[in-house]
Amino acid sequence: MDSKTLSSLYDIFQEVQDKQDWKAALDTLFVSLRGAFVFDNVAIYIVDPHTNGLDVVYARAVGRGKTAEAESAWGERVANNVLLRQKMVLSEPAPEGSEADRLAQASLLGFPLYIGAKLSGALVFVRFGGPQYLESHIHLASLQTFWAAALLERRDLQKARAELDSVQRQMRLQDDFVSTISHELRTPLGFIKGYSTSLLRQDTSWDEATQREFLMIIDEEADRLTRLIEDMLESARLQSKTLQFKFSPIRLEALVRDVTTRVVTHHPDLQVVFDGPPLPPIRGDGVRLSQVFENLFSNAIKYAPGSKLTITTSLAGNKVRIAIADEGEGIPEDFLPFLFERFYRVPGERTVTGTGLGLYICKQIVMAHHGKIWVESVLDKGTTFFIELPTDPTL
């Protein structure tokens, strides 16, 4: 191989390796080597381990012919043949026949694709008309196949790594959860125990106002414990998908206004403004949806104390959308992707208690309604939670 060829091969290698996305890398690989090996289409077929059928995971047209992956049945016969024989398959039109016939006919070249040393599929090139494949073409095509297999292996490794990261994060969250939850359970229990022991003391008599104050604290802390246990059970049921939903026609704005009234009764200083058009009805579980909004209100009160809340309704096609915006400190961007995960709490110095279950529960409820929930946040400006739910045209 002369040094010029070697150096252009090196450049191509660099360019392919630099592409993070595996499809983009394959595109670069096939397009840049096409000068030395002419073909019209290329497709990669991978055996589906469950059905044993062939899936087209990649297809690309650089010349004449079809493009879409769904239309890549053209190479399937050769791919099956390659898998059967476990070696290269060359399928060329018969040399006899007119020039026009030859142009319409396809020459196919298929190679076995080994991913992680396992025969996983086949890579097939097609050329319409044109001369026969030369040995040097076949070598180059075979090199591209090795290379493509390496890229697919890289893709699988990246996927496996991302899954592993997510499992590890989940395990870390579980660990944190155990310490959070024991703290969360101990705090109200500590209050209940402390104040009831004080009230029961024989050697001290408390005046009526003090007794009442102690009893109120006990009552509130018992409520807190109940909420906490309910959240934990609910999250467990949502995770195991055993929570039942009762769907009925719902007016979302009316529901949010009801929740607001309840919240404001407990927090008279909270300022809430409404904006946006009335919304068409949806089908939903009123109790569960109220719980979602109660949770968002409670978070805004906890994490953006003193802030005004703006609730904006809007319609996006056949979906209704409600945004709840506070004007609090906001959440650093890096933490936003994890907010709806079970047990996740934004790290850092914190005085506010919580379990990291609230937003997870919200998300599961919204998903059970075929809706979407997401968050946008700007530091020192505030946080907005969005909920989008499909309308029901039959209502």
Q: What are 104's two structure tokens?
A: 């319409």
Report if residue 300 touches ligand ADP, rule: CB under 6 A. Answer: yes
Q: Closest CB to ligand ADP among 234 and 326?
A: 326
In whole angstroms, give the CA distance from residue 131 to residue 85: 25
Q: Closest CB to ligand ADP among 39 and 340?
A: 340
In whole angstroms, give the CA distance from residue 381 to residue 385: 14
Q: What are 307's two structure tokens?
A: 């802030």
- Minimum distance between the CB of residue 388 and ligand ADP, rounded to whole angstroms? 18
Q: What are 175's two structure tokens?
A: 């660990």
Q: Closest CB to ligand ADP among 157 and 379?
A: 379
Q: What are 142's two structure tokens?
A: 């075979």
Report if residue 355 touches ligand ADP, rule: CB under 6 A. Answer: yes
Residue the block writes with tokens 């300022």 = 271
Q: Closest CB to ligand ADP among 22 and 343?
A: 343
What contacts 44, CB < 8 A, 6 or more positions away?
Answer: 26, 56, 57, 58, 59, 113, 121, 122, 123, 148, 152
- Minimum distance between the CB of residue 185 and ligand ADP, rounded to whole angstroms? 14
Identity of the amino acid at 208: E
For ligand ADP, which stretch binds (CB under 6 A), given 240-248, 268-276, 277-285, 337-345?
337-345
Report if residue 346 touches ligand ADP, rule: CB under 6 A. Answer: yes
CA nearest neighbour of 123 among 52, 51, 39, 49 = 39
- Minimum distance between the CB of residue 273 and ligand ADP, rounded to whole angstroms? 16
For ligand ADP, which stretch binds (CB under 6 A), given 84-92, 110-118, 152-160, 325-333?
325-333
For ligand ADP, which stretch binds (CB under 6 A), given 84-92, 111-119, 240-248, 357-365?
357-365
The three-state secondary structure class of 252 is helix
In whole angstroms, give the CA distance from residue 109 to residue 34: 15
Report if residue 383 touches ligand ADP, rule: CB under 6 A. Answer: yes
Q: Closest CB to ligand ADP among 24 and 378?
A: 378
8 A C-beta contact, residue 259 and residue 293 = yes
- Minimum distance between the CB of residue 304 and ligand ADP, rounded to whole angstroms? 5
Rg of the chain over all Cα atoms, to the nearest angstrom: 32
Cα distance between the two ends of the chain: 73
For ligand ADP, which stretch binds (CB under 6 A), given 98-106, 114-122, 202-210, 323-331?
323-331
For ligand ADP, which stretch binds (CB under 6 A), given 2-10, 266-274, 315-323, 343-351?
343-351
Report if residue 311 touches ligand ADP, rule: CB under 6 A. Answer: no
8 A C-beta contact, residue 395 and residue 280 = yes
DSSP-assigned letters across all residues of 152-195 = HHHHHHHHHHHHHHHHHHHHHHHHHHHHHHHHHHHHHHHHHHHH
8 A C-beta contact, residue 191 and residue 221 = yes
In whole angstroms, give the CA distance from residue 83 to residue 101: 29
Looking at 137, 224, 288, 345, which residue binds ligand ADP (CB under 6 A)?
345
Looking at 30, 147, 191, 303, which residue binds ligand ADP (CB under 6 A)?
303
Report if residue 371 touches ligand ADP, rule: CB under 6 A. Answer: no
Pairing mode of beta strands 118-128, 41-47 = antiparallel
In whole angstroms, give the CA distance from residue 124 to residue 113: 10
Report if residue 235 touches ligand ADP, rule: CB under 6 A. Answer: no
For ligand ADP, which stretch binds (CB under 6 A), given 146-154, 165-173, 208-216, 344-352?
344-352
For ligand ADP, which stretch binds (CB under 6 A), given 51-59, 208-216, 252-260, 295-303?
295-303
Report if residue 299 touches ligand ADP, rule: CB under 6 A. Answer: yes
Report if residue 173 touches ligand ADP, rule: CB under 6 A. Answer: no
8 A C-beta contact, residue 343 and residue 335 = no
Q: Closest CB to ligand ADP among 214 and 374?
A: 374
Q: Closest CB to ligand ADP among 144 and 299?
A: 299
Looking at 311, 354, 365, 387, which residue binds ligand ADP (CB under 6 A)?
354
Q: Which letter does DSSP use for residue 349 in this model? A: -
Note the residues at the interface with ligand ADP (CB under 6 A): 299-300, 303-304, 326, 328, 331, 339, 344-346, 354-360, 383
